[in-house]
Amino acid sequence: MSLTLEVSPYRLRPLRPTDGAAVHNLVNDWSVVRMLSHLPFPYPRKLADQWIASTIERQEAGKAWHFAICDNDRLVGCIGLSMDRPTQTARIGYWVGRPFWQKGIATACVRRVVEWAFETLPVTKIMADVAEDNLPSIALLDRLAFVRSGTTRIPFISRGPEPYPVLTYRLDRTTEKATPVTQGNGPRVLLVVAAVLIDREQRVLLARRPPGKPMAGLWEFPGGKVEPHESPEQALIRELDEELGVDISSGCIAPFTFVSENVGGRHLLMPLYLCTRWRRQPVPREGQELAWVSVDELNRFPMPAPDRPLIPLLRELLAG
């Protein structure tokens, strides 16, 4: 029962009998319980204790692992992973209490459990089921490179007796462990992605790299590194959520141009996307400074060398 995973600033630890009150307080909420197929609403307090006891038994038997998501000592949600050893298939489920939504908690913690499962367990694929109206969870699975593999209908106790449409997703070990992009015997290709967020006043968003990071103090278009298992679009959705709290999964993005140049011992390839619609206002979630800037002001902001050639292209697109 000592297994603990760190996802700074959060900690994933096994559930304890003393967690019953916190679990009940968060799950006994219609907005949460309606997405969990096996739970009634209202959710009785004794069911929380019974469920925690069953998770402890299953973990001791090596059949499932359930983690409490903790912010310091406060429980904010749970992630569970059950395993069918004959098929080497695991199934993941998760929830976060409503007061802690839109903070990137579920994405970061589910990613960590997936990584742990592929590194530690004899698992070849991980499955996830999600109600078709659970759009935040669908976006999360897309960000983590899960692939939709089917549909079904299952009863949700809290919603009544009629089966409800459910989407099934899967992530294969070979996908999660994809190798980095290389080019012959030459330098490793560093694939990053960036976005030009354009507001109604035709201003673009810049982010200033915080102290302690490479190129601190320079201004750049938000984005980041494309992980081996991601497409550029998936990486952009994840990065803007993690850096700015912005959801572009249902927004309007379009490829605009790209940068290709040598950077030290590697070759940088950076697709740049335009984005004109998104959900939630950008906020600095990683200590960076943000600024909305007109295209005529862009030259006043010191930027990394790969970003500077983009300025005249944006001026031509947005000026006037």
Same domain for 193 and 86 = no
Q: Please give the structure tokens belonging to residue 171.
A: 């992530």
Q: pLDDT by residue (tens digit) across 127-181?
A: 999 999 999 999 999 989 899 999 999 999 999 889 999 999 999 876 443 334 4
Return the SS3 of 107.
helix
Mind listing the pLDDT tens digit of every residue in the chain (320 residues)? 457 888 888 999 999 999 999 999 999 999 999 999 999 999 999 999 999 999 999 988 888 999 999 998 899 999 999 988 888 899 999 999 999 998 899 999 999 999 888 888 888 899 999 999 999 999 999 989 899 999 999 999 999 889 999 999 999 876 443 334 444 444 468 889 999 999 999 999 999 988 766 666 788 999 988 887 788 888 899 999 999 999 887 667 889 998 887 665 567 889 999 999 898 999 998 888 999 999 889 888 888 777 888 888 998 888 75
Instruction: Identify the CA nearest to 92 among candidates 76, 75, 106.
Output: 106
Return the SS3 of 12.
strand
Last residue of a domain, one of 173, 200, 230: 173
Same domain for 136 and 11 = yes
Instruction: For residue 28, give the CATH number of its domain.
Output: 3.40.630.30
Last residue of a domain, one of 173, 202, 237: 173
Residue carrying structure tokens 């970003």: 307
The verdict on residue 180 lying in a domain is no
Would you tell me how many other CB atoms lie within 10 Å of the CB of residue 287?
A: 11
Same domain for 133 and 13 = yes
The verdict on residue 181 lying in a domain is no
pLDDT of 118 reads: 85
pLDDT of 19 reads: 96
How open is the CA angle 277-282-284, to the nearest 5 degrees? 155
Same domain for 240 and 115 = no
Same domain for 135 and 201 = no
Say if strands 10-14 and 5-7 run parallel, antiparallel, or are unpaired: antiparallel
Would you tell me how many other CB atoms lie within 10 Å of the CB of residue 167?
A: 19
Same domain for 102 and 246 = no
Contact criterion met (CB below 8 Å) for 137 and 110: no
pTM: 0.56
**Cα 90 from chain centre:** 19
Q: pLDDT by residue (tens digit) across 5-20?
A: 888 889 999 999 999 9
Structural domain of residue 226, as residue ranges?
A: 189-318
The verdict on residue 116 lying in a domain is yes
Look at the chain and report how many structural domains it folds into. Answer: 2
Output the CA torsion 221→224→230→233 (10° steps): -10
Contact criterion met (CB below 8 Å) for 32 and 97: yes
Residue carrying structure tokens 């096994």: 14
Q: Tell me whether residue 57 is exposed, middle or buried, using C-beta atoms within 10 angstroms of its C-beta: 0 to 12, 13 to 18, 19 or more.
A: exposed
Same domain for 258 and 151 = no
pLDDT of 250 reads: 61
Q: How far apart are CA 209 and CA 193, in angstroms?
A: 16
Residue carrying structure tokens 């750049």: 220
Q: What is the DSSP string of 124-152?
A: SEEEEEEETT-HHHHHHHHHTT-EEEEEE
pLDDT of 259 reads: 86
Same domain for 108 and 205 = no
Same domain for 9 and 148 = yes
Q: Tell me whether residue 161 is exposed, middle or buried, using C-beta atoms within 10 angstroms of its C-beta: 0 to 12, 13 to 18, 19 or more.
A: exposed
Instruction: For residue 300, give the CATH number of its domain.
Output: 3.90.79.10
The verdict on residue 19 lying in a domain is yes
Same domain for 225 and 112 = no
